Structure 1
Amino acid sequence: MVHLTSTLVAGLAGLASVASAHPGHDVKAEAAERAAFLKRAAPHARSLNQCADVLRARGLEKQNVARRVQTVEALRRRKGLETRSAFLKARDLDTVLDTDHHSSLDVDQSTDANTLFASNATCILGPDVTQGPYYVTGELIRRNIVEDQAGVPLYLDIQMIDTNTCEPVPQIYLDFWHCNATGVYSGVVANGNGDSSDETNLDATWLRGLQKTDSDGVVQFETIFPGHYTGRATHIHVLSHAANETTENTNNNTISGLYTAHSSHVGQIFFDQDLISTVEEVSPYSTNTQSLTTNAEDGILAEEADTIDPMAAYVFLGEDASDGIFGWISMGIDATENTEVSPAVYMTEDGGVENENAGMGGGPGGPPSK
């Protein structure tokens, strides 16, 4: 018997108090923006709790459970793993983050799938927080973003819910990016991001991509578990594009708005410390020489835990992490939001072009001068 929390959510921009995590990105300013958002947001814009009954009544929760079960079984078959093995993986929030929103279940081999794969989401993404460091526009629409990166396989099921209507948000594009197993982002050349003398990284696209949500507001990504870098808890960045501002460029499998990107929401996905610690023992994560910041040391993550549980729920596909991890998350957004964003880099047909006005955090600015 193990302990498993079923709450699955995505919190917004949980940034560490170390302001130098990425040169050019002011995490203190982002932290202040997040705190201000939480204070002024209406109650319905802080969680999906008010949507639980509506989602159940329309059968969406039942569909979610069935989809997650089928996905796990398909992944296990693909990897030659036992499809009926037990889901014996724990969620255990650090004591600092273990607040009243925390729910738990005792799970063993006989646990019903409806119990294990239920949503119970209490999440919110905010419209007014910077998109975080190293955002790149012009990335490819694709499900598998691994390319040549080594690491523990991670498969994520992400569902977008409109907090105004409690309905799924279909046909919006979700950008998705994170660092590799040793804490380096592709697409950016900068001090503090791997080998800053390697100019070829500006043209790299690994562990970046985007997809359009289906009729149930769902996308699924295939990636690797993110590594860590100094000053931040382990995380994945997400950014949803305003539906009325986004079209697909069918000639090159990207979306419109290379120089005029608009976002409805930005945020980050977090993971349990026990899971992070387990993955960190696996190569090449174990070769990462950067300092590890735990969830409890990430000041904004701890602050968010007073309102939400900003962690992904998950199961191991096999006996240990190296066989792969399946995780699921629900994100609450205001689908009417539309905010212009400015990236760190533009991925053009000729390769990456730095936004000189943005800094590495993607602040104010426009496209590079011609």
Structure 2
Amino acid sequence: MPTETQGPYPGDGSNTVSGSVVNALALSGINRSDIRTSVGSASGTAPGLPLKLTITLVNSASGCAALSGYVIYLWHCTRDGLYSLYSSGVTGENYLRGIQVTDTNGQVTFTTIFPGCYSGRMPHMHVEVYPSLASATSYANKIKTSQFALDRSVCSTVYSNVSGYSASVSNLAAISFSSDNVFSDNTSAELAAQTIALTGDTTNGYTGTVTFGITV
């Protein structure tokens, strides 16, 4: 899995909003499988088509052996292309962010929503890896940062047929993987590795799987 930028909305303690450090990793309750709702004093729920994503973390330096006991931090935008903690209107929310510890199979499964497409980027999800739960408190301890891509044809189907995603239709039409400022320099093999395999429909939602290879 290629290393990618964390982007401007990581919520991992590495930047600030209005002078205050933004660190979702320090929130009580951030270790959870369902990231559709906010935790702590925030109480919002992100609307959107359900998406259940299973990430399998493996050691690329050791025959792709499963890596258990590591932490996956996942975050992504709303169906409107907004990021909790940062974007106007949702700075008081922390939904669509969460961490989990990989099991003996190197897996975690997040229940979330299908992300929207905002101007200038292909639909994607952000991910960081930490070596343990105790270390998953600050960006300073992360050992890998990357982004997952979503299949364009599936995105087009969702955006055209699911209520609430209408703005994503024109945004998706104006962007491609070759013009995306993150994915454009990747080889076809790298992009294939980053792309989430999706099955499902626009009524019941989608299930996604992706294997995340790192070297440890």
TM-score of the superposition, structure 2-length normalised?
Answer: 0.79
Letter in 2 for 1:215: T
Does the aligned pair in 1 maintain the 2:56–2:107 contact within 8 Å? yes
1:306 — aligned with what?
Answer: 188
Residue 215 of structure 1: which of 96, 104, 120 is its match? 104
| Structure-to-structure mapping, 1:324-335, within 5 angstroms | 324-335=205-216
Deviation at 1:302, TM superposition (A): 3.9
Partner SS, residue 112 of structure 2:
strand
Cα distance per residue 1:125-177 (max 9 Å; x no partner): 43xx5422201132500000012111111011110111111211110110000
Partner SS, residue 297 of structure 1:
coil
Question: Which blocks of at least 5 consecutive residues in structure 2 are unaligned?
Answer: 13-24, 38-44
| Structure-to-structure mapping, 1:118-133, within 5 angstroms | 124-126=1-3, 129-133=4-8
Change (3 A) 1:288 1:274: closer
Partner SS, residue 301 of structure 1:
coil
Deviation at 1:256, TM superposition (A): 5.1
Residue 169 of structure 1: which of 64, 67, 70 is its match? 67
Cα distance per residue 1:290-349 (max 9 Å; x no partner): 733233432542432433213111211xxx3231101111011012xxxxxxxxxxxxxx
Deviation at 1:208, TM superposition (A): 0.6
Change (3 A) 1:176 1:186: same
Change (3 A) 1:125 1:170: farther
Alpha-carbon distance between aligned partners in 2 of 1:256 and 1:303, rounded to the nearest angstrom: 29
* Larger helix percent: 1
1:160 — aligned with what?
Answer: 57
Does the aligned pair in 2 maintain the 1:125–1:265 contact within 8 Å? no
Query: Does residue 203 in structure 1 map to residue 83 in structure 2?
Result: no
Letter in 2 for 1:297: S
Alpha-carbon distance between aligned partners in 2 of 1:312 and 1:218, rounded to the nearest angstrom: 14
Cα distance per residue 1:167-208 (max 9 Å; x no partner): 1111011000000001000011xxxx4x3xx4xx33311111
Letter in 1 for 2:130: H
What is the RMSD computed on CA atoms of the aligned residues? 2.1
Change (3 A) 1:327 1:288: closer
Does the aligned pair in 1 maintain the 2:77–2:115 contact within 8 Å? yes
Query: Does residue 182 in structure 1 map to residue 63 in structure 2?
Result: no
Deviation at 1:261, TM superposition (A): 3.4
1:226 — aligned with what?
Answer: 115
* Larger strand percent: 2
1:241 — aligned with what?
Answer: 130
4+ residue segments displaced more than 4 Å: 287-290
Partner SS, residue 121 of structure 2:
coil
Alpha-carbon distance between aligned partners in 1 of 2:55 and 2:144, rounded to the nearest angstrom: 14
TM-score of the superposition, structure 1-length normalised?
Answer: 0.48
1:274 — aligned with what?
Answer: 153
Does the aligned pair in 1 maintain the 2:5–2:182 contact within 8 Å? no
Letter in 1 for 2:185: E
Letter in 1 for 2:105: D
| Structure-to-structure mapping, 1:21-100, within 5 angstroms | none
Partner SS, residue 164 of structure 1:
coil
Alpha-carbon distance between aligned partners in 1 of 2:67 and 2:163, rounded to the nearest angstrom: 38
Letter in 1 for 2:150: F
Query: Does residue 295 in structure 1 map to residue 174 in structure 2?
Result: no
Partner SS, residue 111 of structure 2:
strand
